[in-house]
A = this chain, B = another copy of it.
């Protein structure tokens, strides 16, 4: 049993690995470039350089610039939807909404590029993900509105408009990603520290939870 042999568990494990690794490199680079330059301002050459691959290689894995962009947007949308689960298990608004704020703030912190790509896509009229807005997002929103309305009916929180509450949650949490550069500039040009992120989360939760009478 020679130790030199590469352990190909199943057939062509190495090739699968290569493919996965390169797609990862390309998607990471693309997310960043799309975020920093927008779809129109991004160039395949720049993405290729950042990924450390020749441009032609990008077109081997992703046929067109738009296909690559689609994948980037879909990825962030899925991350975004995952955070939604926080909402579901909760019994009371303080836990459910507080947890949702924490989860979305964490996404803003961990995936600032993806967040910006999503924002830019929506701002430009969602040419690529309009169907997601009309189906998945709409269903999710309607469901969450029902949950909030339930809390209101049970007297667990003030009778606010659930839809606008949701918009406020989205706006406030995403702001820390999308306008991160502005926040950084107003923070003497330095990124928020661990402590400052905690302060931000606490502030947002404090104002909103008290604002809906669930503090």
Contact = CB atoms under 8 A, between A and B. Distances in A.
Given A35-B123, A119-B123, A164-B199, 17 more contacts: A36-B124, A39-B41, A40-B41, A41-B124, A133-B182, A137-B182, A137-B186, A160-B203, A160-B207, A161-B199, A161-B203, A164-B204, A167-B200, A168-B203, A171-B179, A207-B212, A211-B211
Contacts of A40: 37-42
A114 to B, nearest CB: 12
A172 B181 contact: no
A29 to B, nearest CB: 16
Interface residues of A, number: 55
Nearest to A164: B203
A183 interface: yes
A53 interface: no
B39 A200 contact: no
Contacts of A172: 167-168, 171-172
Contacts of A176: 167
A134 B209 CA distance: 32
B130 A185 contact: yes
Contacts of A123: 35, 116, 119-120, 178-179, 181
